Structure 1
Amino acid sequence: MTPDGRFLFVSHGRPAITPEDTEPPGFVVVFAVGPTGTLSRVGEPVPVERGGLGMSVTPDGRHLYVACEALTSVSDRQLFGFSIGAHGSLTPVPGSPYSAPDVPIGTAITPDGRHLYVTSGGLNVNPGLATKVWGFTIAADGSLRPTPHAPFEAGRGPVGIALSADGRRAYVSTLRAELFTFAVETDGDLRRIHGPITTGGVRPLFQSVSVGRPARPAR
């Protein structure tokens, strides 16, 4: 959802498992949110790759990014960026779609809107080989370029990712039930500072990490 609460985005699409998979591609559907919370469709569904999972909107509400789970054997351009129009319309940013890691799953944007992170989970294909978090710098027009030393090692099958409220820390969960902590550098690079530690569960997936906001001081 856009930060002003005016537009809601819903991704669709079955992941493609092999090049012979002929299922339709995925779509993003846009809804306008009325004053009472009612939803109304905006325009036609916007095509993306199959298996749209992680979606993030920049804090200024100008850009939307969608990571699609389709395997690189089907397409290696699985990260889509859109500019959000005044009425909720979606227009591809320059260079979109972008090459993304094998089976991109989770996304997160820093609070200042300067950097985007995408996890590469691998799912059931080969999570032992999918070990990266990819980092991108977001330009004023919404286009992306890799941060200087991306991608970053994050265990086997990183899936969930969340950022602290001040944007200085990133937390990543993996399919092996491990949790990593990274420092977010000023250039957008990630530097591991803690972990792995076990989460105590089994096979966390998708948006499985969330950071609570600090409580407001009592008056």
Structure 2
Amino acid sequence: MGEHPVGVVVTPDGKRAYVTNYDANSISVIDTASNKVTATIPVGKGPGGLAVAPDGGRLYVANGPSNDVWVIDTGDHSVVAKVDVGKSPHGIAVAPDGKRAYVTDFGVNQLSVLDLASNEVVAKVDVGKSPYGVAVTPDGKRVYVTNAASNNVSVIDTESNKVTATVPVGTNPVAIAIKP
């Protein structure tokens, strides 16, 4: 494992886990059958959040200090694209249909919406202060964003890319999960 592991995601088939190594600017690839690191993928500065496409073919890595998201081919570990997003991206989630990714831009209080066919930002959504965690509902109709400094969660409609509700929660929310 690298230095300062931050995020982890498992492929849909459960065969590999990917771990961000923040201080080493890399991703460790773990074979879940042997529990051994099988590869290390160099990425941008300070990788934090990561997500895998529903088909397992692409890995998306949010690099905070680099202000970008790297798209990695999971077959050969090559970099497919580097997408500039807002300042200090952290959380990232992929829609169930694999068409969009949602990235929290901690430094500018926004959510970047990425079109995964073109690997371009197609929308920016203003959310609360210091957005960190992000999750998409199983039907892909809503995105939930934790806003650490606002002590709330923004609910975004994915069709309009508009905030439809703001839910007060406890102090400093940073992670979120949705139960199907």
| Larger gyration radius, structure 1 or structure 2 | 1
**Cα deviations by residue, 1:71-107 (Å, 9 ceiling, x for unpaired):** xxxx44x21101111xxx41111xx222121110100
CA distance in 2, matches of 1:98, 1:182: 22
1:151 Cα offset (Å): 0.7
Q: In 1, are the aligned partners of 2:109 and 2:128 still within 8 Å (CA)?
A: yes
Q: In 1, are the aligned partners of 2:50 and 2:59 still within 8 Å (CA)?
A: yes
Residue 26 of structure 1 aligns with which residue? 25
1:179 Cα offset (Å): 1.2
Q: 1:3 aligns with which of 12, 25, 28?
A: 12
Residue 91 of structure 1 aligns with which residue? 78
Q: 2:146 aligns with which of 162, 173, 176?
A: 173
User: Which has the bigger relative contact order, CA under 8 A and spacing at least 6?
Assistant: 1
Q: 2:156 aligns with which of 157, 182, 201?
A: 182
Residue 6 of structure 2 aligns with which residue? none
Aligned residues: 170
Name the Cα RMSD after superposition: 1.4
Q: In 1, are the aligned partners of 2:83 and 2:120 still within 8 Å (CA)?
A: no
Residue 204 of structure 1 aligns with which residue? 173
Runs of 4+ in 1 over 4 A off after TM superposition: none
Q: Report percent identity of matched pairs.
A: 27
Structure with more of its chain in strand, by fraction: 2
TM-score of the two chains, using structure 1 as the length reference: 0.73
Q: Which runs of 5+ in 2 are unaligned?
A: 1-9
| 3-state SS in 1 of match to 2:78 | strand
Residue type of the partner of 1:163?
Answer: V
The answer as to 2:71 corresponding to 1:60 is: no
Counting only pairs closer than 5 Å after superposition, residues 153-168 of structure 1 correspond to structure 2 as: 153-168=126-141
Q: In 1, are the aligned partners of 2:48 and 2:91 still within 8 Å (CA)?
A: yes
1:169 Cα offset (Å): 0.8
Residue 79 of structure 1 aligns with which residue? 69
Q: 1:151 aligns with which of 105, 124, 144?
A: 124
1:41 Cα offset (Å): 2.3
Q: Which runs of 5+ in 1 are unaligned?
A: 15-24, 123-129, 214-219
The answer as to 2:115 corresponding to 1:137 is: yes
1:49 Cα offset (Å): 1.9
